[in-house]
């Protein structure tokens, strides 16, 4: 695990119970460890979240994703041979159980900064399908690196590893202006389908009034025809003729 400040300040540390660190290795303790380092960077070195790139490898991806999911303004995150969760390393379970640890699969979508995933295709400890699924679940995706033939602890010897990592860090230097300009491009782009939708909707709304108009016209025309061809009118005319006939004959008193 490492924290980098514009490639100048780098802090590495061992988790509790690992390396030269004392204490017990546990999920809770590793979260406390990364929080302690994060607090040290903020309070003693004056580092801002926007200057931080978190780097987590293997099990260390758990505390890294956990902190990143709780810190919205990080510059970036690198996940080196990461795990979906502790239980999924041992068994291909399809759901997350309450007793599982390092539930990266459930937290990665809450990471708001760019995430680079690096994994070896020949990893026998953590299958590289873990890295692939995490890369797909990232909210802000960056081109992942799948090192052909790479194992779990030897990716650093491959030239593509350093090359791609450097490319990612350099892209983060441009990420801040890009994020401000991205919405400007996105704003016109998003309304395009929406703009078309209202037009089609409006045209449909314009068509609907026409239908009643036609129906009313046809009804009026039928009424007019019915008035013209009304049988009572003929009967009244015939009655008038009968009256005139009766008067002429002297039959009406």
Residues noted as catalytic: 58, 123, 152
Q: % helix / strand / coil in the chain, to the nearest 5?
A: 60, 10, 30
82 vs 128: CA distance, rounded Å: 8
E-only strand ranges, 58-216? 76-80, 115-120, 145-147
And the tokens for 43? 């309070």
Burial of 62 (0-12, 13-18, 19+ CB in 10 A): buried
Measured on CA atoms in the order 88, 20, 76, 146, is the torsion positive or negative? negative
Measured from the Cβ of residue 24, the count of other Cβ atoms closer than 10 Å reads: 8
Edge-first strand order for the sheet with 145-147 is 9-12, 2-5, 52-57, 76-80, 115-120, 145-147
**Residue 53 backbone dihedrals phi, psi, to 5 degrees:** -120, 115
């Amino acid at each position: 695990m490492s924290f980098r400040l514009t490639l100048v300040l780098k802090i590495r540390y061992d988790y509790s119970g690992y390396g030269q660190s004392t204490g017990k290795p546990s999920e809770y303790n590793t979260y406390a460890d990364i929080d302690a380092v994060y607090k040290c960077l903020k309070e003693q070195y004056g580092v801002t979240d926007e200057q931080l790139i978190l780097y987590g490898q293997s099990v260390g991806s758990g505390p890294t994703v956990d902190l990143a999911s709780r810190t919205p303004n990080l510059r970036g995150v690198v996940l080196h041979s990461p795990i979906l969760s502790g239980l999924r390393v041992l068994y291909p379970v399809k759901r997350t159980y309450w007793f599982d640890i390092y539930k990266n699969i459930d937290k990665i979508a809450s990471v708001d900064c760019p995430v680079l995933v690096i994994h070896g295709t020949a990893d026998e400890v953590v299958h590289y399908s873990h890295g692939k699924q995490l890369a797909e679940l990232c909210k802000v995706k960056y081109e992942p690196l799948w090192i052909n033939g790479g194992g779990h602890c030897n990716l650093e010897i491959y030239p593509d590893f350093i090359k791609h990592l450097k490319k990612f860090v350099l892209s983060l230097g441009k990420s801040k202006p890009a994020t401000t300009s991205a919405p400007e491009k996105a704003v016109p782009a998003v309304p395009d389908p929406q703009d078309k939708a209202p037009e089609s909707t409006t045209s449909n709304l314009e068509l609907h009034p026409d239908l009643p108009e036609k129906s009313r016209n046809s009804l009026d025309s039928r009424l007019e025809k019915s008035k013209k061809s009304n049988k009572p009118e003929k009967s009244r005319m015939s009655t008038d003729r009968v009256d005139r006939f009766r008067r002429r004959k002297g039959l009406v008193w």
